[in-house]
Chains A and B, each alone.
Chain A
């Protein structure tokens, strides 16, 4: 992957982007147990596969989702987080 397609700015060099990890649902902080919270804070799905990830196009500060195969380094699609356009 050398070119990543920003949903706002189109195809741009990957050096313009910032990677912020897999999209993960946050448990409710006030009701989560210590174990659930530690699991959310620290544990990661480190195995290879197709993942939904947060990326940011830094010059325009555009946050979006990329679906990427982390073994082949191929981006399947990019789109805004549902409800944010």
Chain B
């Protein structure tokens, strides 16, 4: 691999084609139209082309590739969920993640770090035990560990958390990892592009043509497309699309903010999460501390960031790691999280024939990128939900049969 890089040094011109083909015009019809060129949408396009041989596919993106929540999350990958549906689903995703760099021939900086969810109260510790036992039952590597294991993995931590939230133990999940989030969208996008899928950036969906309860086409800012199948994978913009097809869901949008510090020498190997203190933290390959907290407290369809967030998160961060007091915050940003009442996604078919949803990804969508692509492509092709996503149907609300995923995002619910 390093030898291959020599070509770039020795050639006067860039020796590789551009990553994505530019298409001047939309075709008049496609077999499948995917709305949203984030990780989820591009993964679905990739698996449609690779596993199902469907390449007459168009991915529409109103902004740019991976510019939504794919590029705004804190890049954590894990499968230590609480419900059997969740554990099986995310475990499949983690297995897919592990091979992606090789599959794409693109370095995703996938780094297996280990993941601690800290418990500061007896009740939190009880939930950790519950999660560990469910995980082990489904073959996922999770253990409840004591405070000494946390101290050993992160020696800089103040185990008393400034005296008021002492760490009693943690759920340790060895497969917990981080990856470079933009590269995931690029890898799936390039793989789909090479197989004939068309990716159209700067193309906004203005309406969806539904006749007699069936999808007939999509109106875009660059013209009309006829199609019988539409996959909506737009996270925080999902309710805007749902309004076009008149489908009601429980989705509501709150911003989720995150920030990174200036780069510092490597000192933190594992990923740490504290639900009680509303903190999650990991150190990126560049040395930045990647930090997040809980959802913003009210509905908003925008990505503004606030000083309140930096102040609140920093306060709790310093309770865990007092030595960080002189480290500067470098950037902060927000994404629009599409939340559901039970913290499980909404995936699969809808009352409109040919309109498929991959939504409700709230604060837990990045880690699911590969498995969403796999299961949604299967669902589109067979017009019946993949066995791994039957617990995530939109129908579950009408039937009062929620999935209750309390292990989601660990923080701030």
Mark A residues whose CB is within 8 Å of B: 2, 14-15, 18-19, 21, 34-35, 38-39, 42-48, 51, 53, 70-73
Contact = CB atoms under 8 A, between A and B. Distances in A.
B340 to A, nearest CB: 9
Nearest to A69: B301
B304 A35 contact: no
B398 A48 contact: no
A46 B251 CA distance: 6
A19 B397 contact: no
A42 B341 contact: yes
Contacts of A39: 248
A21 B397 CA distance: 19
B341 A46 contact: no
B182 interface: no
A47 B252 CA distance: 8
B302 A72 contact: yes
B250 interface: yes
Interface of B: 238-240, 242-243, 248-253, 297-302, 304, 306, 308, 338, 341, 397-400
Contacts of A18: 297
Given A19-B298, A38-B397, A73-B302, A44 B252 contact: yes
Contact of B299 (A14, A34, A43, A70): A70
A35 B301 CA distance: 28
Given A39-B248, A47-B243, A71-B302, 5 more contacts: A2-B306, A43-B249, A48-B240, A53-B299, A72-B302
A48 B250 contact: no
Majority-rule SS of A interface residues: mixed
Nearest to B308: A15
B297 A46 contact: no
19 contacts: A14-B308, A15-B308, A18-B297, A21-B252, A43-B248, A43-B249, A44-B249, A44-B251, A44-B252, A45-B239, A46-B242, A46-B253, A46-B338, A47-B242, A47-B243, A53-B298, A70-B253, A70-B299, A70-B300
B250 A43 contact: yes
A44 B238 CA distance: 12
A42 B302 contact: no
Contacts of B239: 45-48
A48 B301 contact: yes
B243 A73 contact: no
B31 to A, nearest CB: 29
A38 B398 contact: yes
A46 B302 contact: no
B398 A73 contact: no
A22 B397 CA distance: 19
Contact of B300 (A15, A44, A73): A73
B244 to A, nearest CB: 10
B402 to A, nearest CB: 9
Contacts of B297: 18-19
Contacts of B399: 38
